[in-house]
Amino acid sequence: MDLDAVKEHSALHAKPSGLVLQYGTAGFRTKAEHLDHVMFRMGLLAVLRSKQTKSTIGIMVTASHNPEEDNGVKLVDPLGEMLAPSWEEHATCLANAEEQDMPRVLLDISVKAAVSLQQDAFVVIGRDTRPSSEKLSQSVIDGVTVLKGQFHDYGLLTTPQLHYMVYCRNTGGQYGKATLEGYYEKLSKAFMELTKQASCSGDENRSLKVDCANGIGALKLREMEHYIAQGLSVQLFNDGTKGKLNHLCGADFVKSHQKPPHGMEMKSNERCCSFDGDADRIVYYYLDVDGHFHLIDGDKIATLISSFLKELLLEIGESLNIGVVQTAYANGSSTRYLEEVMKVPVYCTKTGVKHLHHKAQEFDIGVYFEANGHGTVLFSKAAETKIKQLARELEDKKRKAAKMLENVIDLINQTAGDAVSDMLVIEAVLILKGLTVQQWDALYRDLPNRQLKVKVADRQVISTTDAERQVVTPPGLQEAINDLVKKYKLSRAFVRPSGTEDIVRVYAEADSQENADSLAHAVSLAVFQLAGGVGEAPQL
């Protein structure tokens, strides 16, 4: 490792002294102007990780749902999954090392992680459409090249597309071709095969309105449009031609404000959906005939998909085990429905798809979705092999069910939550089950809920346990939440520091919207008072 070259190039990407950042829920995220050194250093780290795993590693430059001024970076591990936790620690150490210490820290990591420095390294890079992303991805490339890593810059990609590319490359093309065309062909072929199985073709001109959050999803869906045109016509809104990224639109806006995005023309009973800024999340919604807005979030997506998979398994007579993984944000009604009506085991993990993904790997078929619409389905290798074998051996209806499962395996992006792939799975399931968006929505009724943000001086003063459902510090906060929750029926509330924004998140649900709002507000005030709130106290 040429540490002199590292030192020399690092000076061109100097770290602002005193700046401390952490590899959070989805990598590093902050204002774009503070990230140049982090990008360079993540380029270095990706080379080490690639040498250590003898595999291609991915780097995505994006801040996903955050405002346009922010940016971020995350590393993608060999199987297309999130970076291993021990390497998150290395990433944090490297990003925070003061300029003069950085080469030593880099060397320490390579010793600690037993990196064989002679090994070749290959890194693939993708970026979203933020104005800052192109320059920042150039800094990543500087980091990779100074350590003599090879790289391929895919340029503009959705985050899940980059995860897909990494996995394809590391499986020698078995998972698919590591090109955009390969991705579009794989998904569209599975979608068309799957929907061909519908007993009645249903709505000939099936169409869907998609709010693309003024982000990369619009570009990529446009590229894909003609591959799926025979099965689905998509009408794009907030396609980036005028509005600002994630501003008053996108999945995060729709989910947290529980209202339609700006810039979308909705007629009653039309199926609509929103992607987030890097197209790894999706939520659905519609207006009823009285003009009321109905949100169909990640919990209902998980319910729809898992019930479909369960029915297919029943049809083929296989007892593969299905588990659903959620977080504390999952609506209480969804958990109850899954456990009590569908009889599917449900597990709760900390926020962050990396945690859900990990848990979902324990099942033959693991369905995981965060309420915010971030999720996917994982099939174990054994389950995949079994399903493929049954699709060849079984006959008639059973064979058809096994074939459909096989198509779902190809249609779902198993490396990460993927708005495009999830959208196609959902559309296919609706067609195959002959369900309207209203019927899907009516599976169960969400408990009224509210999410708020509180600004505090240092959000790390809040620590939690029990999959973030209980506060440990600061003292007195959990007791205050318990006392408030007791005042409302069917209520629940929790708080946790965000891992992507400099705020504390508050969640509350109760028997009525008024009560959920009032409880969320009261809990926000408790956070403000006991955890060092800054600025104006939260208003109702």
Binding-site size for ligand G16 (CB under 6 A) equals: 18
Q: Interface with ligand G16 includes 359 (CB under 6 A)?
A: no
Contact yes or no for 42/91 (Cβ under 8 A): yes
Q: Interface with ligand G16 includes 351 (CB under 6 A)?
A: yes
CB closer to ligand G16 out of 65 and 169: 65
Rounded least distance, CB 452 to ligand G16, Å: 12
C-alpha to C-alpha distances, 473 to 175, 479, 501, 531, 538, nearest whole angstrom: 44, 11, 20, 9, 20
Q: Interface with ligand G16 includes 65 (CB under 6 A)?
A: yes
Q: Interface with ligand G16 includes 71 (CB under 6 A)?
A: no
Residue 239 annotated as part of some ligand binding site: no
Residue 211 annotated as part of some ligand binding site: no
Rounded least distance, CB 92 to ligand G16, Å: 15
The structure tokens listed for 425 are: 């799975």
Q: Which of 126, 160, 215, 352 binds ligand G16 (CB under 6 A)?
A: 352
Q: Interface with ligand G16 includes 281 (CB under 6 A)?
A: yes
Residue 246 annotated as part of some ligand binding site: no
Q: How many CA atoms lie within 13 A of 133 on its CB side?
A: 30
Applying the rule CB under 6 A, the residues between 1 and 30 that interact with ligand G16 are 25-26
Q: Which of 49, 127, 374, 386 binds ligand G16 (CB under 6 A)?
A: 374
Applying the rule CB under 6 A, the residues between 472 and 501 that interact with ligand G16 are 498-501
Residue 434 annotated as part of some ligand binding site: no
**How far apart are alpha carbons 406 and 113 in whole angstroms?**
38
CB closer to ligand G16 out of 147 and 481: 481
Q: Interface with ligand G16 includes 294 (CB under 6 A)?
A: no
Give the burial string for 121-130 (b: 16+ CB within 10 Å, else e): bbbbbbbbbb
Q: Interface with ligand G16 includes 81 (CB under 6 A)?
A: no
The structure tokens listed for 29 are: 């995220």
Catalytic one of 10, 50, 64, 132: 64
Q: How many CB atoms lie within 10 A of CB 88?
A: 18
End-to-end CA distance of the chain: give it in Å, rounded: 57
Counted residue by residue, the chain has a size of 540
Q: Interface with ligand G16 includes 372 (CB under 6 A)?
A: yes
Residue 497 annotated as part of some ligand binding site: yes
Rounded least distance, CB 141 to ligand G16, Å: 22
Taking the CA atoms of the chain, what radius of gyration do you get in angstroms? 23
Residue 499 annotated as part of some ligand binding site: yes
C-alpha to C-alpha distances, 155 to 31, 45, 129, 181, 274, nearest whole angstrom: 21, 20, 10, 14, 23
Rounded least distance, CB 76 to ligand G16, Å: 12
Which residue has 């593969």 as its token pair? 320
Q: Interface with ligand G16 includes 77 (CB under 6 A)?
A: no
Q: Interface with ligand G16 includes 161 (CB under 6 A)?
A: no
**How far apart are alpha carbons 352 and 461 in whole angstroms?**
20
Applying the rule CB under 6 A, the residues between 500 and 529 that interact with ligand G16 are 500-501, 505
Give which of 320, 279, 282 is closest to 299, Cα–Cα. 282
Pairing of strands 150-156, 122-127: parallel
* 137 belongs to the catalytic site: no
Give which of 148, 224, 215 is closest to 191, Cα–Cα. 224
Q: Interface with ligand G16 includes 88 (CB under 6 A)?
A: no
Give which of 40, 165, 166, 162 is closest to 91, Cα–Cα. 40
CB closer to ligand G16 out of 81 and 318: 81
List, by residue number, the catalytic residues: 64
Binding residues vs ligand G16 (CB under 6 A) = 25-26, 64-65, 276, 280-281, 351-353, 370, 372, 374, 498-501, 505
Q: Which residues contribute to the annotated binding site for substrate?
A: 370-372, 496-500, 505
**Residue positions in the annotated binding site?**
64, 276, 278, 280, 370-372, 496-500, 505
Which residues are documented as binding site for Mg(2+)?
Answer: 64, 276, 278, 280
